[in-house]
Amino acid sequence: MEKVFRIFVEILFGLQIAAAPTAIGIILGFLIYLKFPTDGGMFMAVGFALIGLFVGIVWAVRTTLTQGSANFMSRINATPELDHKDPPQDENQHKG
């Protein structure tokens, strides 16, 4: 059961890694289509979206094979500046 969970987490984080370049490609394609609202503009927009998807898949697979997508995403989402921060003091705690 633990192995199934680990595979699910790796796939989920892999999809997250692939989503960023795909979204960038879609946004660039949309902006190109707004500038050139013709069939050629649509062809370029779809091309940019597919290039973004391809780059995202390659990046996710390479990351998963080299260091693991969960390890990569945990380093990305980490906030080391908050690791040694003191907890906030409650001023109402000392009032009687």
pLDDT, tens digit (0-9, with 9 covering 90-100), for 21-74: 999 999 999 999 999 898 898 999 999 999 999 999 999 889 888 888 877 887
| Three-state secondary-structure class, residue 79 | coil
The answer to whether residue 22 is domain-embedded is yes
Q: Which domain holds residue 13?
A: 2-73
Whether the pLDDT of residue 95 is over 70: the answer is no
User: What is the average per-residue pLDDT within 70-87?
Assistant: 70
The answer to whether residue 84 is domain-embedded is no
The answer to whether residue 65 is domain-embedded is yes
- How many CA atoms does the CB half-sphere of 49 hold within 13 Å? 13
Whether the pLDDT of residue 83 is over 70: the answer is no
- Domain count of the chain? 1
User: What is the average per-residue pLDDT within 77-92?
Assistant: 65
